[in-house]
Amino acid sequence: MNAAGRLSLYGAGVLVAFGGVFGIAAAVVPDSAVANWVATASDSSMADHAGMGSDDTAETVTIPGVSLSGYGYELGPVTAPTVVGEPDELRFQILDVTGTPLTAYETSHEKDLHLIAVRTDGTGFRHVHPTLDEATGTWSTPWKWADAGTYRVYADFVPDVADGPDKVTLTRTVEVAGEFTPTPAMTTSTTSEVDGYTVTLDGNLTAETSSELTLSITRDGEPVTTLQPYLGAFGHLVALRDGDLAYLHVHAEGETPKDGDTAGPDIRFAAEAPTAGRYLLYLDFQVDRQIHTAQFVVDAGHGTNGTGTDDTHSDTGDDH
C-alpha cells in the first residue's frame, strides 16, 4: 500500500477533492464531457493527488468514477435484475490485469467495498455493502430496482496488495426496463427534507479553493444531537459531478468516534471542486440505528485565479 499518498480522513479535516487523475475514460461518459474536464485540469496536480508519478502510462490512470477500468483493475460485468420490481441479486467481480478476480481488500471506512448506485439523472441513490465470496471473488447483495432508467453502479475499494493504489473507484452502466418517468431538471438546493429530518447545507463550494461546508440536522425545529457513528464517522458524504457523474467518497472531519458516542447537530467537511459547475451531494447520517440520506444540488463558483485574486462566485447560500 502506498502510504505516502494516503489522504488523512481525520484531525484537521477531510478534503473533498473532486479531482483525480486524467487519462483514458470508458464510453460511459460523453466524449465532450471528458474532453472539457481534461482541458480544464492540470495533469501534474492530478497525478500528485492519486499518488502516481509522471512515468505512469495513461492506460493505468482513470478519472474517478467514470471508467470501468483503471489502476490495473477492472469492474467485471454487473449481473442485476433487468426490470423494475424484480427481486434478485446484484453480482460482480473485480478483475486484475490477468483477468483473475481480486479477493484481498483493505478495510476502508469500516468496509472492504462500498457499492453506490444512482440513476444518471441523480435520483435513486443507494449506498450498500455487498458480501464477498472469497472462493470466487464475487461480490453480491440482494437487489430490486424501484424505477426504470439508466443507472451507474460504482465499486469503491482499496486492494490489499503490495504497492497498490490508495483507492480505486470503477463504474459500469446498468439499464433497467419499465415505464420511465423523467424527473424535472435539478435546481440548486441547500435544504433537504428526509424522513422527518431537515438538513441544511451552509457554505459555498468553490473551484480550486478549499472551503468549509457545514451540514446541520434538525427535527421539528429542534437540533438533533443524537447522531450516531456510521462507517467510522458521524456523517458520510458522496459527491457526484453533474453531467459526467465523477465520484468521490469521503467522511466528515474529526476524530474517529467510539461506539456509544453521539454528536450533532452540525457535521463539517472541507471541500474543494476542481472546476466550476454543478455537483450532487448525498449525506448519509444515522439516528436510532437508522440510516437517512439527504440530497443537495450546489453550484461551485470560480475560486482564486492565477494572480491570487479571489474570483469566487456562488449562489448556493441563497437557497436557505
DSSP conformation class of 233: B
Q: Are residues 108 and 200 in the same domain?
A: no
144 and 220 fall within a common domain: no
For 94-117, what is the mean pLDDT?
Answer: 96
Predicted local distance difference test score (pLDDT) of residue 183: 86
CA distance 17 to 31: 23
Task: Kindly write down the DSSP assignment for every residue of 192-218, as one continuous string.
Answer: EEETTEEEEEES--BBTS-EEEEEEEE
As a whole number of angstroms, the distance between CA 261 and CA 265 comes to: 14
Tell me what pLDDT residue 250 has. Answer: 56
Which pLDDT score is estimated for 247?
A: 82
**Mean pLDDT, rounded, of the chain:** 79
Specify whether 77 is located in the same domain as 106: yes
pTM of the predicted protein model: 0.77
Does residue 278 contact residue 183 with C-beta atoms inside 8 Å? Answer: no
Q: Which of 110, 144, 176 is the last residue of a domain?
A: 176
Least confident of 6-15, 85-94, 108-117: 6-15
Query: What CATH number did the domain enclosing 88 receive?
Result: 2.60.40.10
Q: Which of 153, 176, 199 is the last residue of a domain?
A: 176
pLDDT (average), residues 127-148: 97
- Are 67 and 26 in contact by the 8 Å Cβ rule? The answer is yes
In the prediction, which pLDDT does 249 show?
Answer: 59
- Domain span including residue 78: 68-176
201 dihedral zone (left: phi>0; alpha: psi -120 to 50; beta): beta
Question: Can you tell me the distance from the alpha carbon of 317 to that of 204, in angstroms, rounded to the nearest whole number?
Answer: 7
- Asked if the structure places residue 115 within a domain, the reply is yes
Q: Is 198 found in the same domain as 171? A: no
